[in-house]
């Protein structure tokens, strides 16, 4: 694992399009539901949005956990390679 690969995983995010697809609505609907409720273009969020957001967050947690595991494994391998052999 190199720096770019590791940081790509860290900086990856859920965008409006992915959220809209998971909710079964348009990107415009997501954007309008994210507005301040006092805004003229505000629309109520889709039904069951909490479950969808929770599922997306759980998936993201699993992705971060996998990234952490891969980095730990990589780090251990690097430490083993650079450790000085025993002189006993």
At residue 8, the pLDDT reads 94
pLDDT at 88 > cutoff 70: no
What's the pLDDT tens digit per position in 43-69? 999 999 999 999 999 999 999 999 999
The number of helices, as runs of H, and strands, as runs of E, in the chain is 4, 0
Residues spanned by the domain of 44: 3-82
**pLDDT at position 87, please?**
53
Domain-located, residue 68: yes
Residue 26 has what pLDDT?
98
Cα distance between residue 70 and residue 80, in whole Å = 15
| pLDDT-above-70 percentage for the chain | 94
Give the integer Cα–Cα distance in Å for 42 and 35.
6
Total structural domains within the chain = 1
What share of the chain in percent tops pLDDT 90?
81
Q: Is residue 71 part of a domain?
A: yes
In a domain, residue 41? The reply is: yes
Beta carbons of 33 and 44 less than 8 angstroms apart = yes
For residue 87, tell me if it sits in a domain: no
- Residues 48 and 38 sit within 8 Å (Cβ to Cβ): no
Q: What is the distance between the alpha carbons of residues 79 and 13, in angstroms, rounded to a whole number?
A: 31
């Amino acid at each position: 694992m190199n720096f770019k690969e590791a940081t790509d995983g860290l900086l990856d995010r859920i965008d409006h399009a992915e959220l809209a697809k998971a909710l079964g609505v348009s990107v415009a609907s997501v954007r309008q539901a994210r507005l301040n409720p006092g805004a003229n273009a505000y629309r109520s969020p889709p039904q069951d949005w909490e479950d969808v957001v929770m599922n997306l967050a759980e998936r993201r947690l699993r992705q971060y956990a996998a990234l952490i595991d891969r980095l730990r494994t990589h780090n251990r391998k690097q430490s083993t390679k650079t450790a000085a052999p025993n002189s006993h």
